[in-house]
Amino acid sequence: MADEKPAASTRKRRGSGRATIHDVARLAQVGSITVSRYLKQPAQVSTELGARIAAAVAQLHYVPNLVAGGLASTHSRIVGMVIPNISGPIFANTIQSFSDTLSAHGYQLLLASSYFSQEQEESAVRAFLGWSPAALVVTGPFHSKATEKMLAEAQIPVVETWDYRPRRKAIQVGFSNVEVGLQQARYLLDKGYRRIAFVQNSVAGDLSALDRRDGYAQAMAQAGLKPWTFIPTEQAPFDAGRQAFEALALRKKPLEAIIFANDNLAAGALLAGQRAGIAMPDQCALMGFGDYAISPLLLPSLTTIRPPAREIGEIAALRILEALGAVPLDGKHANARLNRLTCEVIARESA
Amino acid sequence: MADEKPAASTRKRRGSGRATIHDVARLAQVGSITVSRYLKQPAQVSTELGARIAAAVAQLHYVPNLVAGGLASTHSRIVGMVIPNISGPIFANTIQSFSDTLSAHGYQLLLASSYFSQEQEESAVRAFLGWSPAALVVTGPFHSKATEKMLAEAQIPVVETWDYRPRRKAIQVGFSNVEVGLQQARYLLDKGYRRIAFVQNSVAGDLSALDRRDGYAQAMAQAGLKPWTFIPTEQAPFDAGRQAFEALALRKKPLEAIIFANDNLAAGALLAGQRAGIAMPDQCALMGFGDYAISPLLLPSLTTIRPPAREIGEIAALRILEALGAVPLDGKHANARLNRLTCEVIARESA
DNA sequence: TTGTAGGCGTTATCAT
DNA sequence: ATGATAACGCCTACAA
């Protein structure tokens, strides 16, 4: 009774060897399509057959073959996400909340990182498309031509996260980096700083930081001030921050305040300032972006911008689930193509 | 009757609408199996046909349907990974290096997080198995019975990471947490501390930390000393650390040194010590586990243990790729079932 | 080196 | 409510 090969055909030449829907159907003495229906919409199957099927499923340890189901129905419960990196301080919360929201509704996450390279993004998108994913999530609006084409032609929901461009076709879940640059500059201008510089990221491909720089430049122009941009050559973020600080704050006529493309650069600058005995923010104010875990712990603690990382992941997942009909449409934000989130200024000691 | 439509036939009732291998074959005027071979092993196809096929692929923007391929071959290039969390400070580097190593060889990562819950792990493993993954990676040796059974019966490589149990069946890539507990206690004993306590994690399910506690207790017993364990009730790690510090270091006869289940707990204690004006390490030494990003920046900087997070991910991927024949077997560690890594004591100021 | 036949496990379609 | 049949797109086995 225990395991006397219930239904598996005796000499399968191919196949996985696992129980199939036909094995279940035979054991439950129903048609296999009824098993399929029972698993998807139990309400459409009579209680009696349902019970027999459930018993057979349990006895055979039946696990539906999602690959076969995907082929037959031409759509899967896989969602692909391409993100610049997994282990950095920025995107981890987005991935986590995205994955959690998806898996709560039976969808699986296929993940790849691009390291801000459009080529890597393109190859990940191509590979993902081979799985007929239910939806695709990418980071930002900057893609290779081929990627754009693939995303446009895929007949599935596509979400662009971590930026906001109302005129693009994909669902947008993010914030305007230009707006953030304005926010940063205005915060410092309101505090009375006038000689304000912006330090870019030495990592090529981080194009969002350039938008923040543009916002900063815009705010400066509106205030009748000259923008001042510095591009570090050092690659490691702490070193790049130090380099920028030395170039901007240790000159004859030092800058009064510096905005950095991210908190790691700012942290490098802050440590350099400590060593040089510069009083911060009095002699030079520093402002970052990202609100990394280290930022509240630095001395002085780092004034920065907190992006809605977790929120981005969750909203992206909800919009996808809504578009797929996996989640009901309620609430006034339901199924919105444009999801404009905002960043928060975290005012601490450094500015 | 033979429809001579080059690409998409006009009235497909099912199907994705994308170009298939047959469309490519027709356009290139070859058999579809030749296209299949060309895509997998170009060397087996003549240069002439290869060129025709390549042209057709490009013209049709053909993307192989991996779902169909997976069904036909009963194995996919998907690898599933279940990890306690994505956004915490511990596992992100493992995920990143694992994903990078896999994707460099054309494999895709299906990811889910368990939050240290065996139920969530089980449901993720079950869902992953539906995709006929090429391999499966889980964290640690502690699984539900059903998970154990599924892993044992899946005819694929299974890797257990972040721990090391030579007698288990799965491929092991990690370190002995008992050994780490010994390391921690011995480091403090060597420094002359005698009254040493261990603070557990308030997060249930982190069973590895209990192994470290056991190692600590073992070392204490060997030194003829009494172990002293504290279990915080506060849930947030910083709060739990503070609570432990107050209970252990601010008593009449305070402990001399405290080992924490992770760096966040230690950081919470350290900040509490600063506020209370306790000199560290002179009045009380603190030691963490994990070497989080904040740890070198604290004052005093935190002495801790650095686990080989990145290495775990990379070696896990390599062992899988070797087992699947995707990577040649060379080097004496090749294809080892037991991969015992070591943790490093990072000696800083706090102990 | 290239081609033919048939099956992988499920679901859509249509019929009862 | 339930079932028979035929795809879904590719790959294995075997043949030429």
Q: From CA B122, how far away is CA B264, in angstroms rounded? A: 28
SS3 B188: helix
Is A294's CB within 8 Å of B298's CB? no
Please compute the mean of the pLDDT values over residues B201-207 and round it to a whole number: 88
- Cβ count near B199 (within 10 Å): 30
Q: Is B9 within 8 Å of A147 (Cβ atoms)? A: no
CA of B267 to C1' of D4 (A): 67
Which chain B residues are closer than 8 Å to A71 by Cβ?
65, 67-68, 71
Among the listed residues A275, A20, A325, A314, the one whose alpha carbon sits nearest the alpha carbon of residue A174: A314
| Position B13 confidence tier, pLDDT thresholds 50, 70, 90 | low
pLDDT at B9: 37
Q: Within 283-322 of chain B, which residues have Cβ less than 7 Å from strand D?
A: none
Amino acid (1-letter code) at residue B50: G
Among the listed residues A160, A190, A158, the one whose alpha carbon sits nearest the alpha carbon of residue A175: A160
Q: Within 51-80 of chain B, which residues have Cβ less than 7 Å from strand D?
A: 64-65, 68-69, 71-73
A114 contact to strand C (CB, 7 A limit): no
Q: From CA A140, how far away is CA A174, in angstroms rounded? A: 9
pLDDT digits (tens, 9 = 90+) for A242-298: 999 999 999 999 999 999 999 999 999 999 999 899 999 999 999 999 999 889 888
**A113 in reach of chain B (CB within 8 A):** yes
CA of A26 to C1' of D6 (A): 20
Please compute the mean of the pLDDT values over residues B100-105 and round it to a whole number: 94
A16 contact to strand C (CB, 7 A limit): yes
**B124 in reach of chain A (CB within 8 A):** yes
Q: Is A45 within 8 Å of A38 (Cβ atoms)? A: yes
Average per-residue pLDDT for chain B: 92
CA of A112 to C1' of D8 (A): 27
SS3 A189: helix
Among the listed residues B153, B86, B151, B125, the one whose alpha carbon sits nearest the alpha carbon of residue B313: B86
| A334 or B57, higher pLDDT | B57
For A232-243, b where at least 16 C-beta lie within 10 A, e where not — what string?
A: beeeebbbbbbb
pLDDT at B14: 67
Q: Which residue is nearest to nucleotide D10 (CA to C1')?
A: B69
**B145 in reach of chain A (CB within 8 A):** no
User: Which residues, 6 or more positions from B315, have their beta carbon under 8 angstroms from its beta carbon?
Assistant: B173, B339, B341
CA of B41 to C1' of C11 (A): 32
Among the listed residues A95, A33, A101, A94, the one whose alpha carbon sits nearest the alpha carbon of residue A69: A33
Residues in chain B: 351
Q: Which residue is nearest to nucleotide C1 (CA to C1')?
A: B45
Residue A8 has pLDDT above 50, yes or no: no
CA of A73 to C1' of D3 (A): 19
| Position A325 confidence tier, pLDDT thresholds 50, 70, 90 | confident
SS3 B108: strand
Q: Is A163 within 8 Å of A107 (Cβ atoms)? A: no
| Position B123 confidence tier, pLDDT thresholds 50, 70, 90 | very high
pLDDT at A10: 37
A39 contact to strand D (CB, 7 A limit): no
Cis amide linkage into residue A300, ω under 30° from 0: yes
B13 contact to strand C (CB, 7 A limit): yes
Contact map slice: A 55-94 vs B, CB within 8 A: 61, 63-68, 70-71, 74, 76, 78, 85-87, 89, 92-93
Nearest to A15 among B74, B128, B267 (CB): B74
Q: What is the pTM of this model?
A: 0.91
- Assigned token pair, B56: 């057709």
pLDDT at A315: 97
Helix (H) or strand (E) holding A109: strand A108-113
Nearest to A112 among B63, B67, B103 (CB): B103
**B300 in reach of chain A (CB within 8 A):** no
Domains and CATH numbers, chain A: 2-64 (1.10.260.40), 70-175+309-343 (3.40.50.2300), 178-306 (3.40.50.2300)
Give φ, ψ of B249 to 5 degrees.
-105, -15
Residue B82 has pLDDT above 80, yes or no: yes
- Cβ count near B74 (within 10 Å): 16
Residue A11 has pLDDT above 50, yes or no: no
Among the listed residues B61, B63, B52, B58, the one whose alpha carbon sits nearest the alpha carbon of residue B26: B52
pLDDT digits (tens, 9 = 90+) for B232-247: 999 999 999 999 999 9
Helix (H) or strand (E) holding B172: strand B171-174
pLDDT at A152: 93
Q: How many contacts (CB atoms, under 8 Å) link A and B?
A: 133
| Closest-approach nucleotide to residue A69, Cα vs C1' | C10
Burial bucket for residue B39 (CB in 10 Å: 0-12, 13-18, 19+): middle
Cis amide linkage into residue B300, ω under 30° from 0: yes
Interface test with A, best of B62, B108, B274, B311 (most A CBs within 10 A): B108
